[in-house]
Amino acid sequence: MADTVTGAPRADGRRPGRVRRGRTWGLSACGVALAPSAVLLVVRLTGLDAGTPFAVPMVLFPYSAVVSVLVLGVVAAVPALRSRWTVPVVAALAVVQVGLLVPRFVPENRDVPPGSPQLRVATLNTDVGGADPRAVLELVRTERIDVLALEQLPPGGVAALDKAGLGALMPYRELHPEYDSSIYSRRPLSHGGTTDSDTAWPQTTAEITLGGRTVELVAVHTYYPLGDADRWTRDMTSLASLARRGGPDTVFLGDFNASLDHAPMRRLLSAGLTDIHAELGRGWVRTWPVGHALVPPMVQLDHVLHGSGLAGVSVSERTVPGTDHRAVVAELALLPS
């Protein structure tokens, strides 16, 4: 009887044992790459990030979708990795993730009648007053900002902005540096104050008249999930309660320490608010962190949200030296009542 050579080369010249090892290593690498994506998808679908440590990695959900799409391309292109289960499983993961992201990239195309009263607003976390006051002044001037919400602005930051000349451009203000957020305005403000709700610190509020109607402003700064995910969730829940009590002419703007993939943010939006970036189809904006040579902006923590009485016209981001957040500049139009 002739001896059997178990490791004889295949037709393509490769030995079966080497092919099996390559397949095993390839599938293992794909599994390692997809494991975080699968976990984040489960968290996204179940809302497990609310009040838990999952709130921190949840900001990376869009990146996990990109990873799933790339792995799908690999398993579909490499014959050794294709099987009757690898491609369908990876495809299902990628399709569900991408499906959750797609709506924020589709503009709503709301009908804004010509001549509708418009309001230009901006929000900036000053990083405990580190933002260059002259750059803030230039932002207000060049972008023709009507309302500016500033977070993490201490008394020293207020003094620096006054010295730079912000008072000449925005003489109306509701300042609460002791509570972490303040509002500046070109137009008269009324009913200024702070919220009486279960947040880490009160949120600054004021009202402005636009087109004969009253628009309520809320300058937002929540606690951060890395420090206390439960405290952050309670902040977001309180904001949702505040939004439900408010009317359609409401603007929430500031540092929410949340992305559109966080369950508490989705609950806030379901309370009658619209995120202007998603409304205009700009669903993957990165406002934090900035100012680091080796770390580019990765996630969106800063938002402008508005009620149903308003519509988004435009939105953009601006870098201000001295702070780790980008400013968000938005133009809103008042819709007919």
Q: What is the mean pLDDT of residues 49-75?
A: 97
Phi and psi at residue 299, to the nearest 5°:
-135, 160
Residue listed under structure tokens 């790459």: 33
Domain boundaries, the chain: 16-104, 112-334
Give the pLDDT confidence score for residue 81 in this predicted structure.
82
pLDDT digits (tens, 9 = 90+) for 294-310: 889 999 999 999 999 99
Residue listed under structure tokens 């579909």: 76
String of DSSP letters for 264-284:
HHHHHHTTT-EEHHHHTT---
- Residue 287 Cα distances to 58, 125, 179, 258, angstroms: 16, 10, 23, 11
pLDDT above 90 (res 181): yes
C-alpha angle 289-251-215 in degrees, rounded to nearest 5: 150
Residues 6+ apart with CB under 8 A from 298: 59, 60, 286, 288, 289
DSSP-based three-state secondary structure for 9: coil
pLDDT above 90 (res 22): no
Q: What is the mean pLDDT of residues 75-95?
A: 89
DSSP-based three-state secondary structure for 24: helix
Q: What is the mean pLDDT of residues 108-126?
A: 95
Give the pLDDT confidence score for residue 21 in this predicted structure.
73
Residues 6+ apart with CB under 8 A from 21: none
DSSP-based three-state secondary structure for 214: strand
Give the pLDDT confidence score for residue 110 in this predicted structure.
85
Average pLDDT, the chain: 93
- Among left, alpha and beta (phi > 0; psi -120 to 50; other), residue 223 is beta
pLDDT above 60 (res 8): no
pLDDT digits (tens, 9 = 90+) for 242-257: 999 999 999 999 999 9
Q: Integer distance in angstroms from the first to the last C-alpha of the chain?
A: 94
Per the DSSP assignment, residues forming a β-bridge with 215 are 208
The proportion of the chain whose per-residue pLDDT surpasses 90, expressed as a percent, equals 85
Q: What is the C-alpha separation between 144 and 259, in angstroms, rounded?
A: 27
Q: What is the C-alpha separation between 207 and 215, in angstroms, rounded?
A: 6
**Tokens of residue 300, six digits:** 């969106």
Q: What is the C-alpha separation between 273 and 235, in angstroms, rounded?
A: 16
Give the pLDDT confidence score for residue 13 in this predicted structure.
54
pLDDT above 70 (res 34): yes
DSSP-based three-state secondary structure for 186: coil
Instruction: Provide the whole-model pTM.
Output: 0.92
Architecture of domain 112-334: 4-Layer Sandwich (3.60)
pLDDT above 90 (res 25): no
Considering only residues 149 and 294, tell me which one the structure prediction assigns the higher pLDDT: 149
Q: Where residue 1 falls among pLDDT bands split at 50, 70, 90?
A: very low
Q: What is the C-alpha separation between 256 and 278, in angstroms, rounded?
A: 15
Is 294:272 a contact under the CB 8 Å cutoff? Answer: no
Q: Where residue 293 falls among pLDDT bands split at 50, 70, 90?
A: confident
Give the pLDDT confidence score for residue 239 in this predicted structure.
98
Cross-sheet strand order for the sheet of 327-334: 172-174, 181-185, 147-151, 118-125, 327-334, 310-318
pLDDT above 60 (res 28): yes
Q: What is the mean pLDDT of residues 156-173?
A: 97
Strands in the chain per DSSP E: 118-125, 147-151, 172-174, 181-185, 189-194, 204-210, 213-221, 250-255, 274-275, 302-306, 310-318, 327-334
Is 195:220 a contact under the CB 8 Å cutoff? Answer: no
pLDDT above 60 (res 132): yes
C-alpha angle 32-33-35 in degrees, rounded to nearest 5: 65
Give the pLDDT confidence score for residue 84 in this predicted structure.
80
